[in-house]
Amino acid sequence: MEALAVRLSGLDSEAEGVVRIVMFYDTLMRRRVDLPALARASAGLAECVAGIRLHGTGRVIRVAPDGRQTSGPPPRASTTAPITLDDEEIGTVWLERPGPPNPLDEALLDRLAIAAATAVERYGPARTTMADPALVELAISSDSDEAARARALRLLGFAADLPVRVIAVRSQVPLDQVGGLVCPARPVKAAPLADVGAILATTVDPARFPAGVRAGIGAAETPDRSWQQARTALRFTTPREPVIGYDQLGALALLAETPQDAVRDNADVAAIARIAGNPEHLETLDAYCATASLRRAADLLHLHHSSVARRLDRTGKALGIELTEPTGLIRAKLALTAWRLLDD
């Protein structure tokens, strides 16, 4: 390989140089080299620093012509090319030539990008938590076909025979920290998607979510279905119950599918909306619905149970519901839950 590099450096014919570059990288790919070896070989061939970056993991490899890794902020790249796999850009390769680009630099980077994509597909990504949002979205989107979803999951580091659970998160804690806590035994990947964070994991420990996190956990089905379930479960979370698994919802999940106009028109939901401006009413109702007990609600509110009974009586009259009756409690709990889902 080194002898071929020497011969390439003395080429006079650009066309012949391109052919030799193709042969050079074909040899590397047949030898099944990894990304660091590709960077070293490319730097020696180009006689300048060569770099490889993967978007999904943030991994950067920069190698000098002498084969040693370089550190520090890279200078402006003289030539760049995208790494694409299955029509998706997964990274970038570049050269850091001090002077003007060499006529063969474009051909070299084109072949390096192809070889890098092959190495990524063969060896998979580094075991980091944060991932490229586009790759995560491809894995969990209901619009993705199964082949594209399988490729995305493979690039994210998930084995084909493992179920992947998806978590929808709203968090003041960085997503990588949340992912590392709830799935300490990797693989786990996380990415921000529009208004919510997504975490993909093979196992989830609901008890390990830190404070300041709202999370909905999808069931272990296909990633796209699990993501839909996770988004639904997230809508049901409250400060009192910040982490909810979709399988905990049961028939309550049907409320998320009810048209919002129908929910607003319901008399019990409209009554909840009327009392929502009164913190005492809403706080009392929330505690009572969560516990179904005057005494346990009093413990939550740090009040005497007789005080809670008086509050509950006033709240029930404002709602027009007899809250101490079993049917009234069911109506109030359903109405309160449905009201929270409005415009969520």
pLDDT tens track for 54-106: 876 667 899 999 999 887 777 788 899 999 876 778 889 999 998 888 889 99
One domain for residues 12 and 34:
yes
Closest CA to 154 of 56, 228, 59, 53: 56
CATH number, domain containing residue 49? 3.30.450
Mean pLDDT of 8-24: 75
- pTM of the complete model: 0.65
One domain for residues 115 and 139:
no
Q: Tell me how crowded residue 121 is: count the other CB atoms within 10 A of its CB.
A: 14
One domain for residues 284 and 314:
yes
Closest CA to 218 of 208, 209, 207, 206: 206
**How many domains in the chain?**
3
Question: Residue 271's domain spans which residues?
Answer: 258-341
Considering 212, 234, 252, which residue would you say is the last residue of a domain?
Answer: 252
pLDDT tens track for 202-257: 889 999 999 999 999 999 789 999 999 999 999 999 999 999 999 999 999 999 99
One domain for residues 114 and 35:
yes
Question: Does 128 reside within a domain?
Answer: no
Taken in order 26, 32, 37, 38, is the CA torsion positive or negative?
A: positive
pLDDT of 7 over the 80 cut:
no
The pLDDT, as a whole number, for residue 4 is 47
Question: Does 107 reside within a domain?
Answer: yes
pLDDT tens track for 128-146: 678 889 889 999 999 999 9
Helical packing angle, 326-341 and 267-275, nearest 10°: 70
One domain for residues 60 and 89:
yes
Give the contacts of 264 (CB within 8 A, at least 6 positions apart). 270, 273, 342
Considering 227, 252, 277, which residue would you say is the last residue of a domain?
Answer: 252
The pLDDT, as a whole number, for residue 155 is 83
Grade residue 187 by pLDDT with cuts at 50, 70 and 90: confident
The vertex-168 CA angle with 162 and 156, nearest 5°, equals 40
One domain for residues 221 and 275:
no
CATH number, domain containing residue 319? 1.10.10.2840
Question: Does 331 reside within a domain?
Answer: yes
List, edge to edge, every strand of the sheet that includes 196-201: 188-193, 196-201, 165-171, 213-217, 243-245
Task: Record the tokens describing residue 42, joined without a space.
Answer: 């490319």
One domain for residues 213 and 311:
no
